[in-house]
């Protein structure tokens, strides 16, 4: 399996400002120290050696993660996604760029919840407009379809949901039940969040990916902790809502429905997970701040590891790919 991140930001999309881009370019020029490059390709090779925050950015699209089956399932034009945040738009464009408007394609979209940042990419998902395509939207909320329809209803959007040309079906799942969908064993789990959210555990050929965003963890409940340890158990990859620092999560932002990097480390260690990906970044955080949280999380993991195998830590960015 391969996880490809199309949107990693929480709450609302953000973009680098002109001043921030200028700052990065100036930093890169300083680090280059007068070197010259014969062409763009050589300069890009050099840029790849610079610190991530100098040469790149974590990006600003909201939640959308693709799971690509390796080898692909029986139908190569079958796609699996978690959430339909603004990252869904570049995903749809990439599919069109690869295959053109050829149909049919089947898109399986697993929804954590219908908060706006998780559905806002849908009206801009071009494959939904193309007859012949099939969209299967899964979730545990009974009002999921209504939320999708409402964001495209007047006066909020010019194109009504009924105008979409693809064959679109909403499929309600029950938390705690196991399903076999698109070549994956899928188990949804209820999470603590305003209006509820659901995480998903995906299993295929011995590999496990957990998608767990918009989830607040109160570690004072042993029962709740235990249920998440079971949910994350032995996972190769845990995509985790680490929107806040621990200090924020336990003080000002308690009950805001999100979690911290520290809780992610603790739960992953208890569960024997292998790779923790910090996800749903706070939109206020600049690249340097997210990189700082990533480094701080790695230090914490090393300090608390004891005899357990190392837990790999990454901060998700738009464009990140992880092979399992
Ligand atoms: Zn969110
Ligand atoms: Zn939410």
Query: Model confidence over 65-123: pLDDT tens digits?
Result: 999 997 665 556 899 999 999 999 999 999 999 887 787 899 999 999 999 999 999 99
CA of 193 to the centre of ligand 2 (A): 7
112 CA → ligand 2 middle, Å: 8
Tell me: do 137 and 162 sit in the same domain. Answer: yes
pLDDT at 192: 92
- How many domains does the chain divide into? 2
Looking at the fold, whether 246 and 270 belong to one and the same domain comes out as: yes
Q: What distance in angstroms lies between residue 250's CA and the mean position of ligand 2's atoms?
A: 18
Residues, CB-to-ion distance under 5 Å, ligand 2: 115, 214
Looking at the structure, tell me whether residues 7 and 106 fall in a common domain.
yes
Closest-lying ligand to the alpha carbon of 120? Answer: 1
Nearest ligand (C-alpha, residue 118): 1
- Cα of 113 vs centre of ligand 2, distance in Å, is 7
| CA contacts within 13 A on the Cβ side of 121 | 32
Task: Take residue 54 and report the two structure tokens written for it.
Answer: 């100098």
For residue 255, what pLDDT is reported?
Answer: 62
Question: 299 and 261, same structural domain?
Answer: yes
Cα 194 to ligand 2 centroid, rounded to whole Å: 7
Nearest-ligand number for the alpha carbon of 141: 2
Distance 210 CA to ligand 2 centre (A): 17
- Cα–Cα distance for residue pair 261/313, rounded to 1 Å: 10
Is 227 found in the same domain as 122?
A: yes
Predicted pLDDT of residue 72? 63
Q: Which three-class secondary structure string do you get for the chain? A: CEEEEEECECCCCCCCCHHHHHHHHHHHHHHHCCCCCCCHHHHHHHHCCCCHHHHCCCCCCECEEEEECCCCCCCCCEEEEECCCCCHHHHHHHHHHHHCCCCCCEEEEECCCCCHHHHCCHHHCHHHHCCCCEEEEEECCCCHHHHHHHHCCCCCCCCCHHHCCCEEEEEECCCCCCEEECCEEEEEEEECCCCCEEEEEEEECCEEEEEECCCCCCCCCHHHHHHHHHHHCCCCEEEEECCECHHHHHCCCCCCCCCEHHHHHHHHHHHCCCEEEEECECCCCCHHHHHHHHHHHHHHHHHHCCCCCCCEEEECCCCCEEEC
Measured in Å, residue 112 CA sits from the centre of ligand 1 at 9
Cα–ligand 1 centroid distance for 258 (angstroms) = 9
Is the pLDDT at 290 greater than 70? The verdict is: yes
Report CA(31)–ligand 1 centroid distance (Å): 36
Average confidence score pLDDT of the chain: 93
pLDDT of residue 306: 86
Residue 219 has pLDDT above 80, yes or no: no
Ligand that comes closest to the CA of residue 83 = 1
Span from the CA of 258 to the centroid of ligand 2 (angstroms) = 8
- For residue 252, CA distances in Å to 105, 225, 274 come to 45, 22, 31
Determine the distance separating the centroid of ligand 1 and the alpha carbon of 215, expressed in angstroms.
Answer: 9
Please check whether residues 229 and 312 belong to one and the same domain.
Answer: yes
From the CA of 215, which ligand is nearest?
A: 2
Q: Read off the pLDDT of residues 10-19 as tens digits, 9 standing for 90 and up.
A: 999 999 999 9
- CATH number for the domain harbouring residue 297: 3.60.15.10
Taking the centre of ligand 1 as the mean of its atom positions, its distance from the CA of residue 227, in whole angstroms, is 22
- What range defines the domain where residue 42 resides? 17-55
* C-alpha R_g of the chain: 20
Q: Which has more confidence, 237 or 222?
A: 237
Contact 119, 170 (CB under 8 A): no
Looking at the structure, tell me whether residues 72 and 93 fall in a common domain.
Answer: yes
Ligand nearest to C-alpha 256: 2
The predicted model scores a pTM of: 0.94
Examine the pLDDT at 232 and tell me if it is beyond 90.
yes
User: Do residues 129 and 10 share a domain?
Assistant: yes
CA of 257 to the centre of ligand 1 (A): 9
Measured in angstroms, how far is the CA atom of residue 55 from the centroid of ligand 2?
30
The answer to whether residue 251 scores a pLDDT higher than 90 is: no
- Examine the domain organization and report whether 254 and 150 are in the same domain: yes
pLDDT (tens digit per residue) in 312-323: 999 999 999 999
Domain match, 37 and 96 both: no
Query: What confidence tier does 259 reach under pLDDT thresholds 50, 70, 90?
Result: confident
Q: Count other Cβ atoms within 10 Å, centred on residue 309.
A: 9
pLDDT of residue 77: 87
Do 158 and 50 reside in the same domain of the chain? no
Q: Are residues 237 and 117 in the same domain?
A: yes
- Nearest ligand to the CA atom of 114: 2
Q: Is the pLDDT of residue 191 over 90?
A: yes
What's the confidence (pLDDT) of residue 309? 86
Query: 220 falls in which pLDDT band (50, 70, 90)?
Result: confident
Tell me the pLDDT band of 39, cut-offs 50, 70 and 90. Answer: very high
Instruction: Decide if 138 contacts 181 (C-beta within 8 A).
Output: yes
């Amino acid at each position: 399996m391969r996880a490809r991140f199309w949107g990693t930001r929480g709450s609302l999309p953000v973009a680098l400002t002109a001043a921030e881009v200028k700052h990065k370019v100036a930093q890169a020029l300083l680090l280059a120290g007068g070197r010259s490059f014969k062409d763009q390709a050589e300069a890009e090779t050099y840029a790849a050696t610079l610190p991530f925050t100098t040469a790149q950015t974590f990006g600003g699209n909201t939640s959308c993660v693709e799971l690509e089956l390796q080898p692909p399932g029986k139908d190569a034009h079958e796609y699996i996604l978690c959430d339909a945040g603004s990252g869904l738009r570049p995903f749809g464009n990439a599919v069109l760029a690869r295959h053109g408007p050829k149909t049919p394609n089947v898109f399986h979209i697993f929804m954590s919840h219908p908060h706006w940042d998780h559905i806002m990419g849908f009206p801009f998902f071009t494959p939904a407009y193309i007859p012949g395509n099939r969209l299967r939207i899964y979730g545990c909320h009974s009002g999921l379809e209504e939320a999708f329809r409402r964001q495209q209803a007047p006066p909020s959007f010019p194109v009504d949901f009924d105008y979409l040309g693809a064959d679109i079906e909403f499929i309600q799942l029950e938390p705690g039940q196991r399903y076999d969908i698109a070549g994956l064993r899928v188990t949804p789990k209820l999470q603590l969040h305003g209006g509820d959210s659901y995480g998903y555990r995906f299993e295929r050929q011995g590999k496990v990916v957990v998608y767990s965003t918009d989830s607040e963890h109160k570690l004072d409940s042993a029962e709740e902790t235990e249920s998440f340890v079971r949910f994350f158990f032995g996972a190769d990859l845990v995509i985790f809502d680490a929107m806040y620092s621990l200090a924020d999560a336990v003080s000002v932002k308690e009950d805001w429905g999100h979690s911290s990097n520290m809780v992610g480390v603790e739960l992953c260690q208890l569960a024997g997970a292998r790779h923790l990906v910090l996800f749903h970044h706070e939109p206020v955080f600049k690249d340097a701040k997210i990189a700082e949280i990533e480094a701080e999380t790695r230090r914490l993991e090393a300090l608390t590891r004891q005899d357990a195998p190392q837990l790999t830590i990454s901060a998700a960015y738009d464009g990140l790919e992880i092979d399992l």
